Amino acid sequence: MSKRRAVLLLGERFRSSFFAHHRDRRTSIHRPTAVDSPHCSSAATYSSSRSRASPRPAMEAALTHNGLWSSGASEKNKAMVEQLQRYGVIKSTKVAEVMEAIDRGVFVPPGASPYFDSPMAIGYNATISAPHMHAACLELLEDHLQPGMRALDVGSGTGYLTACFALMVGPEGRAVGVEHIPELVASSTENIKKSAADPQLKDGSLSIHIADGREGWPELAPYDCIHVGAAAPQIPEALIEQLKPGGRMVIPVGTVFQELKVVDKKLDGTVSVRDETSVRYVPLTSKDAQLHSN
């Protein structure tokens, strides 16, 4: 098992334990569920589609001992990125540079531990994904986030990943976030203003919109890449339509069992889908269902 896959699986293991140990299950259309602590016991295990076995105990112990999962181990954004590089989650120099430039601390609520590798609640029954999941998705999408390209972030939440997209595609490209909670759109805009992506917010190459993410944002389609941060029962047809030929989408799909799908649209318009890894995300749903789910 590669270090990168082991880290991803451990992160999903911690995330899934939340469902087993907490009644107040936070629900979001756009983000993985929050985890109160990475040290939950008796966690359900989610592994690759080829094997449902647990990650090796030695690997888990090494990650915890060396600080990737320990509270307070990564006190600065750069240290967080270096940890993700050390464990093979980040391999791309470009992804590392962008995650260092976009300070995660700007995008989490006051009082949270921004550099701790865990999802965090951001209000409105929504969360911001763990750093390792953001890194993994950036790695999968890097070739489709080149200067001048167009990127869509479905469920932009705090605006963190949309800001990363903006730096990668540059001012000559377009980074579009879609979020159906107006208050999150407002707060994410303020977050971005305090980040390295602010110039692109000002010049209009980065924008956040209030909309149902399941419908995408057709006004600026087609997109070279689409990221979806919640699990759909099936891949929304609207998102496939808005994916540019030659483009790629990353989306979790499933209900009880979920897979992170990599969707590639070939130049002739045909679509191929492969499983990257097993994951555990909250469902892609309506605004009303998100706000009233407990």
Residue given tokens 């167009």 in the structure block: 150
DSSP reduced 3-state for 180: coil
From edge to edge, which strands make up the β-sheet containing 174-179? 206-210, 174-179, 150-154, 223-228, 243-254, 258-265, 271-279
Q: Is 129 an annotated catalytic residue?
A: yes
Choice among 129, 156, 195, 207 that is catalytic? 129
- Burial code (b: 16+ CB inside 10 Å, e: under 16) for 181-206 equals beebbebbbebbeebbbeebbeeebb
Residues 6+ apart with CB under 8 A from 19: 25, 33, 44, 280
Catalytic residues: 129
